[in-house]
Structure 1
Amino acid sequence: MFESDRLYLRLFEEKDAETLLALELKNRDYFSLYSGTRKDDFYTIDAIQKKIQEYIKQATEDKSYQFGIYEKGNNELIGKISLNSVQRHVLQNCVLGYMLDKEQNGKGYMSEAIKLIVSYAFEKLELHRIGAGVMPHNGASMRVLEKAGFHKEGLARKNVNINGRWEDHEMFAIINPAHDVG
């Protein structure tokens, strides 16, 4: 677990299934705008438990790391943030993913969470680079990444299939400052 003044991040555990399901159900329509519509069987406790078991397996294999974003004080799960597609050897990189409860938008939580996970990726995992993609119409998400030190690299056309449509994504990245020589 690692934390800021207002929140903390913690890898998902099996005990988190009910709260993760509640977050997903509460934000079902909102999350589908950015990640695609999921089938009804995704929104069951069994499916979420299996998903968390897969998260745990992926972390032990150094393939991806899935964290809950928790508000300090009340320990409420308010979002998810992840380091996906971890690549080692000559690449040492990953892809950032994140979602925040719609009611928590505009409070600076995601900016804090991204800064925390970037520190984790660079200091604990010793990664060199983190990439992220944002649909061009999501200006708020782009500003969050820029506040956290990411820089825009360009446009990936028809990059991700969301709800049956290939969507463009503005591509962002941040380089580990300990590796940024030359």
Structure 2
Amino acid sequence: MTYNGENIYIRFIGKDDTEDLLALTQRNRTHFEQVSPKRDESYYSQDFHEKMIEGWIKQREEDKRYVFGIFLKESDQLIGDISIFDIKRGPVQNCTLGYGLDQEHNGKGYMTEAIQLLLTFAFEEAKLQRVEAGVMPRNIGSIRVLEKAGFQREGLARKLLEINGTREDHVIFAMLAEDMKI
């Protein structure tokens, strides 16, 4: 399943993307470590990435997590990933948004475009009603991306997640299906 934007497209990450995803992760290790939970050294290995992608495929089949690669249209280069996870069904119909972009491509509007494409999937295909995202208050770039994509700021979750050994506050944003202008 592919969703096309103006400059990028997103599609499910598969086993054939293992080497490119690993290279992206290794190339951006320092950049990603600033905003991600602490990772064991094994995370940066081929074996770990193969198993991680296998897990994502299984979770997709179980309607628990959907992980897309973000690709440049002009070159088909993998420049990031975007996902929805912690999917809750029944009366809730909610999930959490996560994403990461190669630092070389920050500030070009690619992530805003990827989020809009993912929201189309979340609301039209997955039939969710609410997508949430949490961002550390100091991550101004990510906050701007969510606001440009139409997310509404809802509040502060104190010490929500451990990042590099420190519990960090996160600003909570959400987008509802009815907020999306599809």
Partner of 2:158: 157
1:37 shift after superposition: 3.1
Secondary structure of the structure 2 residue equivalent to 1:127: coil
Kindly provide the amino acid, as one letter, of the partner of residue 17 in structure 1. Answer: T
The answer on whether the counterparts of 2:26 and 2:44 sit within 8 Å (CA) in structure 1 is yes
Matching residue of 1:35: 36
CA contact (8 A) 2:37 2:161 kept: no
Quote the sequence identity (%). Answer: 49
- In structure 1, the partner of 2:63 is 62
1:24-173 matched pairs, under 5 angstroms? 24-173=25-174
SS of the residue 1:120 aligns to = helix
* Paired residue type of 1:87: K
* 1:118-163 superposed Cα distances (whole Å, 9 cap, x missing partner): 1110001110000000000011111110111100000000000011
Q: Once superposed, what is the RMSD of the aligned Cα atoms? A: 1.1
Superposed displacement of residue 73, structure 1: 1.7
Amino acid corresponding to residue 55 of structure 1 in structure 2: W
Q: Do the aligned residues in 1 keep the contact of 2:66 with 2:84 (CA within 8 Å)? A: yes
Q: State the distance in 1 between where 2:78 and 2:29 align.
A: 15
Q: Distance in 2 between matches of 1:28 and 1:152?
A: 28
Q: TM-score, normalised by structure 1?
A: 0.96
Displacement of 1:103: 0.6
Consecutive unaligned residues in structure 1, runs of 5 or more? none
Runs of 4+ in 1 over 6 A off after TM superposition: none
Unmatched 5+ stretches in structure 2: none
Deviation at 1:39, TM superposition (A): 1.7
Note if contact 2:64-2:87 (Cα within 8 Å) is conserved in structure 1.
yes
Q: Aligned partners of 1:143 and 1:132: how far apart in 2?
A: 12
Alpha-carbon separation, structure 2, partners of 1:158 and 1:39: 22
Q: Secondary structure at the match of 2:178?
A: coil
Bigger Cα displacement from structure 2, 31-40 vs 90-99: 31-40
Number of residues of Structure 1 aligned to a counterpart in Structure 2: 179
